C-alpha cells in the first residue's frame, strides 16, 4: 500500500498543459480499494499507465492497480503501439530494414501493411504463438512533419535529418515533452552526407564550399566560371520542409550569409532530384550520399590545394564538412518495452551492419593505420614552417606513428564549447565500448587539433583543452567502465595536421577537432 502511494505521489513524470485528441476517463484503484485515481487515459506501455489528473500527468505502475473504464487496455493480449513520424529518407528504407532485422533476431514474425505511400504499419508477432506483440505505425514525410506530430502527441518518435529548432524545443517543453535539446531526448541513428552532384559528362570536378554556396544563391549562374561550358547552371534541391534542404541551409548557406535562389527546382524525393540532374548536362544538385545514382560527385576543395571527397570514412570521421546525422527524437516518457528493446538494438554491432547494407554510414568505430593516412600527413608537411616546426612534426610522427586512428572523432559547434550533435552521440558510443571492455589492455589518446588562425602555441593549448574536455565527457559517460584495465591520455598538435583550407568557416571547422588514437 505504501509502495502504491509512493508510485502515485512521486510519479516518474509530472507535466502540465498537455493537449489530447480524445478524452476517455479511467479509474486506477489499488488492490484493496483504499486508494483510487481518476483521470484521462493517455497511454499504457505494457507496464505503466499514463493518466492526466487534476495533479497533472502521472505515470503509475500497473502491477499495483486495477483499471476501470472503457479506455482500459487489455492486459492479456496487450499490443504495444508505437507511432513514428518524420524524414522519408529514414522512414522508407532505414527504419524498416532495422525493424525487420530486429524481428529476425528475436524470432518475431513481421507483417507490413500500407495505407498509402506515406503511411504504413509493421506488425510484430510471436514466432511460436502468432500473438501480435507490437504495431509500429509510420508517417513517412519530412523532418518538419515529424516534429509537428511529436509536439501534437501524435507520434512517439520523430525522425529528422536536422537538429530540433529552438522554437520547436520550446514548444515541446511547454507541452510536457521535456528538454528536447538534452542528449537523452535524441540519438543519432546513422550518418549521411550532403554531396554536390552533376551529370556524368560535366567537366567540372571540384568546387570550394564558398563557390557551392554562391552557385545555390544564384550569384554564379554559368559553368564557364569554373572552366566548364558556356551554359546556365540549373539548380536542384529537396523541398524546403525536408531535413536535407534545411541542413543545406544551416551548414552551407547561413555561415556565409546566403539564401537559396528562388529559381532552384525542388523535389519531394531524393531519387527525383538525382534523376533530374542525370538528365540535364548543365544541372547541379545537393543529394544524399546514400543515393547518388550514376551522377558525378564533386570534390570540395580550397585555394590552399587541400580537397575533401565524400566517402563512408570521411563522413564517419566528419572530415567531410557537409555531414548529415540522422536523428531520432523522443519525449520524456516511457515507451513500450519492445520499443525500448528496438532502440537498444539500433546501437548494436549487428544493426550497424544493416545500416551499411542499406547504403547509409554506420557508427561502428574502425581503426585506421598510419599507412592509410598518407594524405593527412602530407597535409602536415605542406604547412610546416615558422609556426609548425620540424621538431613538432617529428614529435607528432613519433607519437602517432605506432598507433591507429579511431574513426570516432569529436568536433564542436561553431563559436561554442559544446560538442556538435554527431560528437555527442560519439561520446555515448565510445563510453559504451569502454564499459564493454573493448579497449581493455590498450592505450587511448585523445588528440586535439586546431585551425591555423592565431599563434601556434596558443592554438596548441586550445586544442589540448578541447582534448581534455572530450576525455572528461567520455569518462563521465562510461559509468561502469573499469579504468584500471586501460590507459587514457591526452595530447595536442594544434594546427600541425590540417584537413582543409583555413580560408573558409567550413575549413576551420573541419580542422578544429579531437581525434582518438589507439595502441
**CATH of region 365-518:** 3.30.1330.60
- The answer to whether 2-67 and 365-518 have equal CATH topology is no
| Cell numbers for 427 | 561520446
- What's the average model confidence in pLDDT over 195-223? 96
**Angle 438-441-446 (CA atoms, 0-180°, nearest 5)?**
75
For 80-180+331-343, the fitting CATH number among 3.40.190, 3.30.450, 2.160.20, 2.60.120 is: 3.40.190
Q: What is the pLDDT of residues 76-135, one digit of tens each?
A: 778 899 999 999 989 999 999 999 999 999 999 999 998 888 899 999 999 889 999 999
Side-chain half-sphere CA neighbours of 120 within 13 A: 17
- Other beta carbons within 10 angstroms of residue 384's beta carbon come to 13
Residue of 478, 401, 410, 393 whose CA lies nearest to 448: 410
Q: What is the pLDDT of residues 435-446, one digit of tens each?
A: 999 999 999 999
Q: What is the pLDDT of residues 236-265, one digit of tens each?
A: 999 999 999 999 999 999 989 999 999 999
Q: What is the pLDDT of residues 486-508, one digit of tens each?
A: 999 999 998 888 888 887 777 88
Coil, helix or strand for 489?
strand
Residue of 79, 85, 86, 87 whose CA lies nearest to 111: 79
- Other beta carbons within 10 angstroms of residue 76's beta carbon come to 6
pTM for the full model? 0.81
The DSSP result for 83-133, as a single string, is EEEEEHHIIIIIHHHHHHHHHHHTTEEEEEEESSSSEEEEEEEETTT--EE
For 192-316, the fitting CATH number among 1.10.10.10, 3.90.930.60, 3.40.50.300, 3.40.190.10 is: 3.40.190.10
329 φ, ψ (degrees, to nearest 5): -115, 140
CATH fold group of domain 2-67: SH3 type barrels. (2.30.30)
| Cell numbers for 29 | 484503484
Could you tell me the residue ranges of all domains in the chain? 2-67, 80-180+331-343, 192-316, 365-518
Distance CA 464, CA 450 (A): 9
Amino acid at each position: 500500500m505504501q509502495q502504491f502511494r509512493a508510485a502515485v505521489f512521486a510519479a516518474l513524470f509530472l507535466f502540465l498543459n498537455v493537449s489530447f485528441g480524445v478524452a476517455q476517463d479511467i479509474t486506477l484503484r489499488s488492490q484493496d480499494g483504499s486508494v483510487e485515481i481518476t483521470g484521462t487515459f493517455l497511454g499504457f506501455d505494457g507496464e505503466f499507465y499514463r493518466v492526466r489528473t487534476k495533479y497533472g500527468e502521472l505515470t503509475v505502475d500497473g502491477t499495483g492497480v486495477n483499471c476501470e473504464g472503457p479506455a482500459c487496455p487489455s492486459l492479456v493480449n496487450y499490443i504495444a503501439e508505437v507511432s513514428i513520424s518524420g524524414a522519408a529518407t529514414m522512414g522508407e528504407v532505414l527504419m524498416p530494414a532495422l525493424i525487420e532485422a530486429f524481428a529476425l533476431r528475436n524470432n518475431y514474425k513481421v507483417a507490413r501493411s500500407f495505407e498509402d505511400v506515406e503511411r504504413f504499419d509493421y506488425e510484430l508477432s510471436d514466432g511460436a504463438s502468432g500473438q501480435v506483440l507490437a504495431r509500429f505505425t509510420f508517417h513517412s514525410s519530412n523532418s518538419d512533419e515529424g516534429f509537428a506530430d511529436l509536439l501534437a502527441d501524435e507520434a512517439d518518435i520523430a525522425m529528422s535529418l536536422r537538429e530540433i529548432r529552438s522554437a520547436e524545443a520550446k514548444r515541446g517543453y511547454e507541452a510536457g515533452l521535456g528538454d528536447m535539446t538534452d542528449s537523452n531526448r535524441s540519438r543519432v541513428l546513422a550518418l549521411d552526407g550532403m554531396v554536390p552532384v552533376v551529370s556524368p559528362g560535366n567537366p567540372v570536378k571540384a568546387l570550394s564550399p564558398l563557390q557551392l554556396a554562391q552557385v545555390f544563391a544564384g550569384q554564379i549562374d554559368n559553368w564557364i566560371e569554373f572552366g566548364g561550358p558556356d551554359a546556365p547552371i540549373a539548380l536542384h534541391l529537396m523541398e524546403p520542409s525536408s531535413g536535407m534542404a534545411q541542413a543545406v541551409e544551416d551548414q552551407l548557406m547561413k555561415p556565409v550569409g546566403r539564401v537559396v535562389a528562388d529559381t532552384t527546382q525542388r523535389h519531394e524525393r531524393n531519387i527525383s532530384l538525382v534523376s533530374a540532374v542525370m538528365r540535364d548536362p548543365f544541372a547541379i544538385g545537393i543529394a544524399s550520399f546514400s543515393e547518388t545514382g550514376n551522377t558525378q560527385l564533386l570534390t570540395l576543395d580550397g585555394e590552399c590545394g587541400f580537397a575533401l571527397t565524400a566517402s563512408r570514412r570521411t563522413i564517419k570521421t566528419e572530415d567531410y564538412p557537409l555531414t548529415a546525422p540522422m536523428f531520432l527524437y523522443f519525449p520524456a516518457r516511457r515507451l513500450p518495452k519492445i520499443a525500448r528493446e528496438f532502440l537498444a538494438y539500433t546501437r548494436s554491432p549487428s544493426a550497424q551492419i544493416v545500416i551499411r547494407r542499406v547504403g547509409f554510414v554506420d557508427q561502428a568505430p574502425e581503426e585506421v593505420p598510419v599507412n592509410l593516412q598518407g594524405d593527412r600527413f602530407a597535409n602536415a608537411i605542406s604547412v610546416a614552417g615558422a609556426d609548425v616546426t620540424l621538431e613538432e612534426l617529428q614529435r607528432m610522427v613519433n607519437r602517432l606513428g605506432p598507433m591507429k586512428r579511431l574513426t570516432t572523432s569529436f568536433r564542436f559547434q561553431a563559436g561554442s564549447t559544446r560538442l556538435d550533435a554527431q560528437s555527442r552521440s560519439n561520446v555515448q558510443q565510445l563510453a559504451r565500448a569502454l564499459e564493454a571492455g573493448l579497449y581493455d589492455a590498450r592505450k587511448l589518446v585523445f588528440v586535439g587539433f586546431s585551425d591555423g588562425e592565431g599563434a601556434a602555441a596558443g592554438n596548441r593549448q586550445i586544442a589540448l583543452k578541447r582534448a581534455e574536455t572530450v576525455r572528461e565527457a567520455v569518462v563521465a559517460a562510461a559509468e561502469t567502465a573499469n579504468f584500471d584495465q586501460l590507459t587514457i591520455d591526452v595530447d595536442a598538435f594544434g594546427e600541425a595536421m590540417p584537413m582543409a583550407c583555413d580560408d573558409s568557416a567550413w575549413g576551420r571547422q573541419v580542422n578544429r577537432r579531437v581525434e582518438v588514437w589507439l595502441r
